[in-house]
Structure 1
């Protein structure tokens, strides 16, 4: 059994490239179905976040497969166009990378907490699609367990280690911001709204009309229908968008002739806010990469050594399981 992974991430590609590989659940399901037609693939797991898209495969020993090429093929992208923008890992590098990834030490914000949930969601979806196999199940379980251990032992970051808190820092640096509009009532949108309310901002969040009965509204937040978002712009100082929409939630040509806030923050990948918004007079636009700017190059050498010491024990557990499994097959 051979495990191999390849992916594209923020160290290799800017957001305008990464967002092309940010897949919805329905797209992921189609990709899994396509991958499993390959008789040399025993298992597959895809991690797709705002920072990265990675494909993990377990396959026949001795088979050369580039997971990123398969990923491109599955969504009809030209692999040659992106071949220099991906990393390929094999052998020991795969389990080590996954453990470090789950711990948050490969994120743009050091030690961020959301990635462990994203890794967990990735293996759960693969399982739901009957795409994972025992090797990948154990590998992901060990990576998640090691990350929980690291989080319990080390303080990798402050409790304010999510993109929403990074957005708050940007908002606090601006003058005269009192009213905020949050577009999107998903996990990030609700977190953003709650943080704004806790910090004294008058906050309104959009709700999809057809889901009103099922929405969870952060305590203290005002609400409007999603279709009212443009009308609300004239009454706010900052707008933050955080949806899973494949289309822009705010388009420049619809904003241009109206009163609008001077600060736009886009927390989504693919992007929610038309990038041309920054061309509007007196408008500032931050996307995921500009929000994270300055975080990546901070020195964490000492903590990284501690992280490696912890995850080494879990990696050893993985290889013990692997050897035990091989012996069972041979007997």
Structure 2
């Protein structure tokens, strides 16, 4: 059964297109069951995230146009709108693609780990919808194992590659476990939102969000189970903060040396980690002179990020080698699976011939025929019947000049190399 992956992602389609073909989780079961009702589709799974929508199907024939029309029709879009943004991966290319996706090699941020969880969600949804068969079910299990191998055998996910991630990683290096720490995030833009997400993933104890517009701070704080304050309230809460990360568009510093000095005294000189991501800076440079304060700027993080990217690029090369090997290994399993049916049919035919000849031999013995003669008759007849079909096929292939069939027969029956034509 052929495999086919069809989809679009952040590299091939703008967000205006991606958002139109996303599958909300609550509609996924219905969509999966509708997909497998297509005449050529035997099994299916759908991976749908903010960066990609992909159909993985076991199909009777590689009918990509039918899948494209279904995807467009399901979302009430003209197929010609989607067509320029769509990629198609057949067979081994489909296997290699899902292995790369799960390993973070096809992500916007190289090596990011979230996509593996999203693929596991897709597997779970397809399993519950009853749309996974033997091949796709095995493919997903193989994918999870390979993604784990890539994470274990390479450094693809070990180095920070964004300012937000680098800031949180440095905080971990200073404090270790963040579960007992309080973070004060100043600003509520995209970078601070990403910082908040990384902190939550690391099980930060508490988050305070300060912003000029309190409503915006409250929106972010609610998403991360935090607490929102106005900028003017920072001095009241600063001493509670073990971690301070700031990224605003303020033209002037928001935190001065005096305010931080007072907070350190209130904290009885417990260390405070501060990252100023803003340009112009939000935290006065003189704060770095204070004891028990670790102040980093965006330039300080740049080296950490570049080291992380270089490390991940090297790890990605190693991961590609693992994926190439594992994609071939999976396709070997698929091809062996395809032979199982043929082998079963061959054995059933041989069993039927054996039973037929054996029944006749038993009747001969019951009629008083000589056992030795009957045994020779049985062996001769069984051999002739088993070899009749292959012999006729080889003779016909020779007459028609189909040398490939003759070569295959020599390989299957261990006949040695075919004789040279004189």
Q: Do the aligned partners of residues 109 and 235 (structure 1) sit closer, same or farther apart at CA in structure 2, a change above 3 Å counting?
A: farther
CA distance in 1, matches of 2:149, 2:16: 35
Correspondence for 1:78 = 78
Native 8 Å contact 2:40 2:61 kept in 1: no
Measure how far apart 1:318 and its partner are: 1.1
- Corresponding position: 1:319 with 2:331: yes
Q: What is the SS of the residue equivalent to 2:20? A: helix
Measure how far apart 1:320 and its partner are: 2.7
TM-score with structure 1 setting the length: 0.63
Q: Which has the higher contact order (CA 8 A, sep 6+)?
A: 1
Native 8 Å contact 2:151 2:157 kept in 1: no
Q: Give the number of aligned pairs.
A: 249
Correspondence for 1:304 = 316
CA distance in 1, matches of 2:67, 2:124: 20
Native 8 Å contact 1:111 1:161 kept in 2: no
Correspondence for 2:88 = 88
Native 8 Å contact 1:57 1:67 kept in 2: no
Native 8 Å contact 2:146 2:323 kept in 1: yes
Native 8 Å contact 2:156 2:316 kept in 1: no
- Corresponding position: 1:202 with 2:208: yes
Q: What is the SS of the residue equivalent to 1:319? A: helix
Tell me the alpha carbon deviations over residues 13-56 of structure 1, each in whole angstroms, 9 at most, x when there is no partner: 12222111222112222321321221321011111112111111
CA distance in 2, matches of 1:199, 1:4: 45
Measure how far apart 1:126 and its partner are: 0.7
CA distance in 2, matches of 1:138, 1:99: 13
Correspondence for 2:144 = 144
Q: Do the aligned partners of residues 236 and 310 (structure 1) sit closer, same or farther apart at CA in structure 2, a change above 3 Å counting?
A: farther
Aligned pairs for 1:5-20 (under 5 A) are 5-20=5-20
In our comparison, the structure showing a higher alpha carbon Rg is 2
Native 8 Å contact 1:46 1:55 kept in 2: yes
Q: Do the aligned partners of residues 69 and 155 (structure 1) sit closer, same or farther apart at CA in structure 2, a change above 3 Å counting?
A: same
CA distance in 2, matches of 1:60, 1:15: 32
CA distance in 1, matches of 2:22, 2:163: 17
Q: Which has the higher helix share?
A: 2
Q: Do the aligned partners of residues 16 and 37 (structure 1) sit closer, same or farther apart at CA in structure 2, a change above 3 Å counting?
A: same
Aligned pairs for 1:1-331 (under 5 A) are 1-61=1-61, 63=63, 65-160=65-160, 165=165, 178-179=185-186, 191-192=197-198, 194=200, 202-203=208-209, 221-222=226-227, 302-330=314-342, 331=344
Measure how far apart 1:101 and its partner are: 0.8
TM-score with structure 2 setting the length: 0.50
Measure how far apart 1:123 and its partner are: 1.2
Where structure 2 has 5 or more consecutive residues not aligned to the other structure, the ranges are 170-183, 210-216, 235-247, 251-304, 345-422
Q: Do the aligned partners of residues 45 and 62 (structure 1) sit closer, same or farther apart at CA in structure 2, a change above 3 Å counting?
A: closer
- CA RMSD in angstroms, aligned pairs only: 4.0
